[in-house]
Amino acid sequence: QVQLVESGGGLVQAGGSLRLSCAASGGIFGGRIFSMYTMAWFRQAPGKEREPVAAISSRGGATQYADSVKGRSTTSRDNARNMVYLQMNSLKPEDTAVYYCAADFTPGFVDASWTDQSVYDSWGQGTQVTVSS
């Protein structure tokens, strides 16, 4: 089973930056390896539903972002290291949440379904991001 472990969260002042990392291990699922997965980031703020943040295609050529983070965040990946990243800049208090990475083993590309949590096959445990005002 593929395991995802997020890191890089913490406490930061508004306007600051953080780089979240997600490490994948466990090798192959259904004959597909990490470099074949679409990867995504979601977040869940206290008392709110989990919401999509960003997604990246298997080779990193396509990305999608939620409007709430567009222009302030960049997702990237290093398939040689089985890593995916979320660089967040100009952080706001409303960015405070637990951030999760997720893997979709099937397609490899990013389409309109990227915001649908049900398409993802594996989830990490999350990393807390707290932005103080």
pLDDT digits (tens, 9 = 90+) for 6-59: 999 999 999 999 999 999 987 666 556 888 899 999 999 999 999 999 999 999
Residues whose CB falls within 8 Å of the CB of residue 119, separated by 6 or more in sequence, listed in order: 104, 106, 113
Query: d(Cα 44, Cα 22) in Å, to the nearest integer?
Result: 16
pLDDT digits (tens, 9 = 90+) for 77-118: 999 999 999 999 999 999 999 999 999 988 778 888 999 999
CB 120 within 8 A of CB 1: no
CA angle 67, 48, 21 (to 5 degrees): 60
Radius of gyration of the chain (CA): 14
Question: Which residue type is seen at 16?
Answer: G
Query: d(Cα 55, Cα 57) in Å, to the nearest integer?
Result: 7
